[in-house]
Amino acid sequence: MSLIVVGTMAFDAIETPFGKSDRIIGGAATYIALSASNFVKPIKQISVVGGDFPQEELDHLSSLGVELEGVQIKKDEKSFFWAGRYHMDMNERDTLDTQLNVLANFTPVVPDSYQDAEFVMLGNLVPAIQMSVLNQMKKKPKLVVMDTMNFWMETAMADLEKVLKHLDVLLVNDSEARQLSGQYSLVKAAKTIMGMGPKYLVVKKGEHGALLFHEDKVFVAPALPLEEVFDPTGAGDTFAGGFVGHLAKTKDISFENMKTAIIVGSAMASFCVEKFGTARMKEIDKADIQSRIQQFVDLVNFDISII
């Protein structure tokens, strides 16, 4: 079962309390593909890069089963660039620099060879671009998952509301869920947001884990307590990649299996934050992932037979 991934492939420069990176590879679609490729192949990538994007990064993605026909390479332009600084609590960050570059005029094209994909992951991007990809799909996908952020709620709310109506699953963090719904209680926020289109809502809470809402049901997943969160960049995208990767692999989009997908996503995100940028994601193998998922089982497992 193949998976379309839409999003940025970019350069980041990151400062955390633990150190500072040079210009390193980043972008939502990069993290999503690196994470999802552990579960499903092929991944059909849709993005845009400049001539400065390293060929070896593209080759590495290809070697993982990521098809790049939908990735536009604008040789005379520069890739999207973001620089940011995290604070001690790692949930807050300041944007130091944003250079749209190739993103300024990005018009995504869904290649014919992508039309058979039944799973679509719309990474955080201009809502109109996310909508354009869905509009190009000749057959309604089995599952559409989307990530977004507060910036689009403030600058492109009408477009965002339009694309929300076409989603199965929306992923946002807790403050974004509150902003989008105008509700402080996450339970109420989830009801409001599911009224806007998505059948499922995943609320990411960083070090506090994640919540999955569907109809009147709710599931809570922990984050792995870590000695150090070295760099949270890409953790949300890596979570999304594990989540949708597991669903595309198993082809089961029930609430029960989405709970498992949340755990898989959480496990993948817990690797991502251990090193700067994509470094840790490029090291791990299937055995690492299996053992990390087992840690999550141990983390939440308890016996109520005694009560």
Q: Kindly state whether residue 302 participates in binding a copy of itself, applying the rule CB under 8 A.
A: yes
Query: What sign does the dihedral 68-71-72-74 (CA atoms) show?
Result: negative
- How far apart (Å, rounded) are the C-alpha atoms in residues 200 and 157? 20
Quick note: the x/- pattern for a copy of itself over 151-180, rule CB under 8 A, is ------------------------------
State the Cα–Cα distance between residues 72 and 130, nearest whole angstrom. Answer: 16
Length, in residues, of the chain: 307
Closest CB 190 distance from a copy of itself, rounded Å? 8
| Residue 116 touching a copy of itself (CB under 8 A) | no
Select the span of 70-78, 99-107, 165-173, 205-213 touching a copy of itself (CB under 8 A).
Answer: 205-213
Q: Is 93 in the site for a copy of itself (CB under 8 A)?
A: no
Q: Does 293 bind a copy of itself (CB under 8 A)?
A: yes
- Which of these ranges, 74-82, 122-130, 244-252, 274-282, lies near a copy of itself under the rule CB under 8 A? 244-252
Alpha-carbon distance of 158 to 163, in angstroms, equals 9
Q: At what angle do helices 28-36 and 235-250 cross, to 10 degrees?
A: 40
Beta bridge partners of 83: 13, 97
* Shortest distance, position 149 Cβ to a copy of itself, whole Å: 21
* Residue 42 CB burial class (10 angstroms; 0-12, 13-18, ≥19): middle
Alpha-carbon distance of 181 to 227, in angstroms, equals 34
Binder to a copy of itself among 115, 155, 185, 291 (CB under 8 A)? 185
**Chain contacts with a copy of itself (rule: CB under 8 A):** 88-89, 184-188, 205, 208-209, 211, 218-222, 225-229, 246, 250, 252, 256-257, 259-260, 262-264, 290, 293-294, 297, 299-304, 306-307
